Each structure stands twice: as C-alpha cells, then as structure tokens.
Amino acid sequence: MSEPKPTLEYKSPDLGHSHKKLTGGDLSLIMGVTGFALLMLVFFIPSVICVALPLSQIFGVIAIIRGVVSLVRRQRGRASAIVGMTLGTICAAMLITGFLYVGYSGMRRVADARRMATQGEIFNLCDAIERFRSDVGRYPASAEGLQALVIQPPGVSGWKQYLQEVPTDKWGRPYRYEFPSPKDPRTFEITSAGEDGVFGTADDLNGVSR
C-alpha cells in the first residue's frame, strides 16, 4: 500500500492582533491635536472661521472628555491623555475668550452709540434754546428749565413751541439745564450724567450756548 501524502494546512494571519489598540489617552491626544490644528488654521486663514472654529471646539471637548475618562479608569497612555486634555482646554479657552471679547466689544459699541446720540440731542436742545432767546429776548431761567421749550412760560411774548416734549438722554435720564451756567454767567449749560448716571464725573456730556 502506498503511504498517504502529507497535507499542507494554511493558516491566515490574525490581523486583528497585529496592530496596537488605541487607548483613551491616544484618542484624547488625537482629538486635541486635531482641534488645536483647526484653531491655528483660523489664525492663518480667517475665512474658514465659520467652519474651523466650531469643529475645533467639538474636537477640544471630546479630547477633554476622553482624557478625563482615561485618567479616571487608569488606562494606558496617561501622558497622551494629559497632552490631549491640555490642547482641548486651550481650544475651549479660546472660544470663551472670543465670546467675552465679542460681548465686551458689543457693549462698548452700544455705549458709544448712546453717547453720540445723546451729544447730538444736546446740540438740538442748544439750538432750540438759541431760537427761544432769539424770539423772547432771553434764555430760559433754570427754574423754567427745558420745559420752557414745550410750554409757554407766564408773561413771555414772542414765544413759539420749540419742542413737542422734553427728551431724556439715551440712558433714559433727564437732562440738567442751568442758566446762568456755573462756568460762565453769560451762557447756559445742558448736561447729561452719561452712562454712570452721576453728574460731575468724567463721562458727563455737556452743551453750552454758542
């Protein structure tokens, strides 16, 4: 009898164990680097800010979460987790800083617009008082105030209505009218207390006779 021929068996390599499995720290590092790279891209190419900045924050938050989980579970790759969390924190901090800057800039623009509008209104009030003087022959007294531009004071001839109502400044506070002015008895002075609402401080807005 002939001997049986030996058979050759082929075993496919186990590819599932040929690569190192990524740890939570590795994922945190990858997310952090990606988020930081997108953040840097915004600085060099500002036109991509609408896409790159939100993605940067998303990757940054994921990096922080993955890093924290990795450290809590004491997984391998603690150094990678710490680096990833650091980069993710930078991304998040930049977003918070950006929001604070935009908010502050917006508040300052509103304040500046109010100051400009109030100063323009003071100019209009000064013009109305000058027309009062031209018609009546004198400036309104401090006791009469700006109301003299709306309602005819007793015993005054030649008066016309110069305003429909007495306005307030753009912070909703009344103007202070003084005649004679404390600075010059020949002139009047109209003052807005400004943003802080306190007369005699640096942000006061003034108008005097021309």
> Which regions in the chain score pLDDT beneath 50?
18
Parent domain of 62: 21-108
Question: Does 96 map to a domain?
Answer: yes
Q: Evaluate whether 180 touches 187 at the Cβ level (below 8 Å).
A: yes
SS3 state of residue 124: helix
| Alpha carbon distance 181, 152 (integer Å) | 22
Question: Does 7 map to a domain?
Answer: no
The residue among 108, 138, 167 that closes a domain is 108
Shared domain for 134 and 201, answered yes or no, is: yes
Question: Does 47 map to a domain?
Answer: yes
Shared domain for 204 and 121, answered yes or no, is: yes
pLDDT in tens, 96-125: 777 777 777 777 788 888 999 999 999 999
Shared domain for 138 and 203, answered yes or no, is: yes
pLDDT in tens, 118-139: 999 999 999 999 999 999 999 9
Shared domain for 148 and 104, answered yes or no, is: no
Shared domain for 163 and 187, answered yes or no, is: yes
- Strand ranges in 11-147 using DSSP code E only, listed in sequence order: none
Got the DSSP string for 23-54?
Answer: PHHHHHHHHHHHHHHHHHHHHH-GGGHHHHHH
Structural domain total, the chain: 2
| Alpha carbon distance 196, 26 (integer Å) | 53
Question: Does 167 map to a domain?
Answer: yes
Give me the pLDDT at residue 64, please: 84
Shared domain for 163 and 134, answered yes or no, is: yes
Q: In the numeric block, which tokens belong to residue 56?
A: 């940067």
